[in-house]
Every structure is written in C-alpha cells, then in structure tokens.
Structure 1
Amino acid sequence: MTTGRYLAAGLLAATALPSAASAGVTVTGVSGDPGFLTGRIIYTPGGIGGNAGTTSADLSIGRMKFTGFDTATAAALAFNTYCIDIFNYVQNGTFDLQTFTLGNAVKEEQLKALLSNTAGLIGGAATLGGKKDISAAIQLAVWEIVNESGNNGYSLSGGLFQVSATHGSAATNARALAQGYLNSLGGWSAQPGFNFSMLSAVSPANNQRQILFAPVPEPGTWALLIAGFGAVGGAMRRRTRTRLAYA
C-alpha cells in the first residue's frame, strides 16, 4: 500500500468527454499532470478531508488527470481537473454531468474569470517547473475563492482559508502567483468561448464533484476541466482503490 497526499488541481485538455445523451462518466484512474507541488493549507473552521478536527493539512498540489469511460457508450475518456472543495476525498467512481453551480453567483463568475483568463498559462510555460508552479497556483486560487468568506479581498495569508508561506515547494512561486491571480480578479471577467458544467458524484456518494471547464470547441475536443466539490488534496491507495483528499 502506498499513501500520498495530493492537492488536486488542473486545467486540462481532455481527449474526450461524456456525450449529452449519457451525461455520465466512470473514473478509473487519477494521476498528476504536469505533476504536484507540496504545501500546507489551513482552514480554521476545520473539516479538511472530512475530519471536523482537521484545520491544516500538508498536501501535494497540482492539476490532476482523470481517466475512465463514458457510462453509456464505454468510450474511453481522459481529462484534467481542479478541486473546489476541501471536505471530501477524490476517488474512482461514477458521476452525473450537471449544470455548474456553487450556490453563490459572485463566486461562480469569479471562478469563470479565473479559469478563462489563466486557461493557456500552463501550456505556455517553458519548463516543467513553471508548469507545476502555474497549475498549483490556479488550484490555490480556486480554493481561496470557494472556501473564503465574502466575495472580495482574497488573501492567502489571512481569513478562513490560508496557505502556509513556509511549508513545501508551493510556498514560494506558486503561492505568489496565486495571490497575483486573486489580486487581478477585480479587473477580470469571464472570457467568451468557454462552457462550464459539473460532474456530481453518484457512487460513492461521498466522492468529490467536479467542475468542467471546456472551450466551445471544435467538435470532439474537450479541454480544461476542473475537479470540484470535494476533492481534498490527498491520495490514498488501498488495494485497487485510489482516494485523493482535496484540500
């Protein structure tokens, strides 16, 4: 048995996606893409990873790649994800494709602005280290928007959700990039040409939900998916099952 802790992140170019008719996907594998950085997140009310007493966690942070198949057609799927919830585990399972909603219209628009304005940054980075910094930074910014109280003045150094400035490889470049993205939100708006939808867990019911972010594409091409609601940056492999705790 191996145990790792992953912070799911991820804008990705997906090779396929469930059809509108099936509206479902089964995930059979999770890996890092382009790879993970390490860091410590803090959420003072507690509840990280489903444990009410857990207020901080050391995690691997970065874009995740999901592989699996369309539940109706059995067609193979591959796509990247960003987590937007720190209270559940990411694990293999079956999901329904649904309308994207956070229950907070302002935060929804902020996430759309963040993701559409940073959509090309990972692919445009010249080095693997740069790609990891950017993917981790986007993930940290996503978590801050979703988990912080209020709709503005986001800071990774204060408030309910914080990121340590001293722990792990994400504490320097990625953390600074993330704060820069958050500081830019006031001047950003969602860019045209993208669709957003959400994968909601069916089985297991305590699995994460995922937000799908896809360019209005050429037919057959899906890109940029964000894993949401409940991936809590930790991956635990037990026999054949992978559990990723999103934080």
Structure 2
Amino acid sequence: MIRTIALRTAAAAALACAAVGAQAATVKLNNYTYGNGNTVNVTAPTYSGGAGGFSGTISGFGAAFDGAVQTYCVDLGEFFSFGTTYTSYSLVSAASHFTAAKVTALGKLMTYVFDTNLFGTTAAGSKDDLSTALQLAIWNIVYDTDTTLSGGTFKEGSTAYRNSTASFMGANALLANSQVAGQAIGYDLYVLKSVGSPGQQDQLIWKSAGGPSTSVPEPTGLALVALALGAAGLAARRRKSTV
C-alpha cells in the first residue's frame, strides 16, 4: 500500500511539473520585426490592415522559451496592441492547434524561409516586404487548402506582396517553393494561444527541431494534474482509515 501511494504521489508531482508550461504567462510584442509592416487586403476572412512578423518578449513559459521572440499572427479575428503586457496566453504545440496537414505545411514554410536564410539575403529595404509576404503565406495555410493567394477561398487583393519582385520573394513563391515533396522540416512549431474572451491574436513561434518540443504539454495537462493529485489524496485517506 505504501509503495502504491508513493508511486501515485510521484506521478502527480511529475504531471504538476510538466503542466507548468501550459499555464498563462506574459507576452509583450513591441513592434514589427522589419519596418512598420505593410497594408494588405484579404478575403475569407476579410481583413484590411498591417501584416508582417512581430518582435517582443515572453516569460513564464520556461527557460527554453523565455526571452526575445519573433512571432507571426495565426488568426485574423482578434487583436492586440504593441507595448501592452498580456497575461492571457498559454503555450501549446502546433499539433494541438492545427490539423496534421497544416502543421506539416507550416513547418515546411518556416524551414524553407529560415533555413535558406531568405531574410539574410534580402536587402534591408525589402525585408519588411518579405515579412509581409510570409505572413500572407502563413494565413493562406491556416485558412485555405491551396498554395496560392490568387485562388481558393483565401485571397490577397493586390499583387504587391502576393507576387515576387526583383527585391523580395512574394507569398505565392514562398508557398510554391516550400510545399513540395521532400522539403525537410527543421523546426518545431508552437502557438501562443490567447485564453481571454475576447482574446488577443494567437501567435506562431518556432524552435529548431529536436529542442524543447516534448516539454510543452497540451491544455489537458492541468486536468491530468488534478486527477493525479486527487488519486494520490484518496489513496492516502484510505491508508489512514485502515491504520
């Protein structure tokens, strides 16, 4: 009986430690990573406004994640303000947020962009354009099933960031070049997920594959902790009543 209680208590403690990453923590995004973003016009869902990657800091998610961070928006139905500290976010794996097909497509896209160092080889004045194109490509994967912003249900209203130019690669080319057979996936993807209502925009972040991916529990982690602690407490009470 004592050994059973010890095992249950140990399991509960392990689950409690694992679930820390799923708790709400701090997210503060300060500005666009490059320039001031660019205005886009998209449909299904309809949105007209700035688009591009963001930079800021996060804390409370563990040493492997805390610190400076770059993000891209996941959704178009919510909002956030630069310079505001939010405590209404949890950190979850992309696999718990998207279908497997979308996780694969996003992983290929981010690997293509960052492993080929597209930002490093793009002239300073066009990095914000590339960042806008990448944001459009991410939204296309999230909201559509094709590999173009010229067709399907999710579309961009102009060719400015949809098509490539001499100075930067457009969203259509990013999608076409990354969504091919054999494209490796070199990053584990996570979502900073707003838990408020109305919430802030969910944000996509990424880490090199083989990093801390297994350390981030899913939202069910807290429920498992409660069950484990309850089982441990019940076992202890039963033992006490038989003494």
> Which entry has the higher C-alpha Rg, 1 or 2?
2
Q: 1:157 to 1:71 in 2, by over 3 A?
A: closer
Contact 2:58–2:69 (CA under 8 A) maintained in structure 1: no
1:161 pairs with 154, 176, 186, which one?
Answer: 154
Letter in 1 for 2:105: Q
Q: Tell me if 1:180 matches 2:170.
A: no
Which position in structure 2 is the counterpart of 1:35? Answer: 35
TM-score, structure 2 as length reference: 0.63
Q: Tell me if 1:135 matches 2:126.
A: no
Which position in structure 2 is the counterpart of 1:77? Answer: 67
Secondary structure at the aligned position of 2:114 is classed as coil
| Structure 1 runs not aligned, ≥5 long | 1-18, 47-54, 220-247
Which position in structure 2 is the counterpart of 1:206? Answer: 199
Letter in 1 for 2:92: Q
User: How many Å separate the matches in 1 of 2:108 and 2:162?
Assistant: 24
The structure where strand makes up a greater share of residues is: 1
The structure where helix makes up a greater share of residues is: 2
Letter in 1 for 2:104: E
Which position in structure 2 is the counterpart of 1:99? Answer: 93
Contact 1:113–1:188 (CA under 8 A) maintained in structure 2: no
Q: 1:90 to 1:20 in 2, by over 3 A?
A: farther
User: How many Å separate the matches in 2 of 1:35 and 1:28?
Assistant: 18
1:110 pairs with 105, 112, 117, which one?
Answer: 105
Q: Deviations over 1:187-228 (max 9, x none)?
A: 453424x22222222346512222321114889xxxxxxxxx
Q: Structure 1 vs Structure 2: percent identity of aligned residues?
A: 24
Alpha carbon RMSD of aligned pairs, Å?
3.2
Secondary structure at the aligned position of 1:97 is classed as strand
Q: 1:137 to 1:22 in 2, by over 3 A?
A: same
Contact 1:40–1:164 (CA under 8 A) maintained in structure 2: yes
Q: 1:84 to 1:60 in 2, by over 3 A?
A: same
Q: CA deviation at 1:125?
A: 2.5
Secondary structure at the aligned position of 2:138 is classed as helix
User: How many Å separate the matches in 1 of 2:209 and 2:47?
Assistant: 38
| Structure 2 runs not aligned, ≥5 long | 1-16, 213-243
Q: Give the number of aligned pairs.
A: 184
Q: CA deviation at 1:85?
A: 1.2
Moved >6 Å (runs of 4+)? none
User: How many Å separate the matches in 1 of 2:66 and 2:142?
Assistant: 31
Contact 1:39–1:163 (CA under 8 A) maintained in structure 2: no
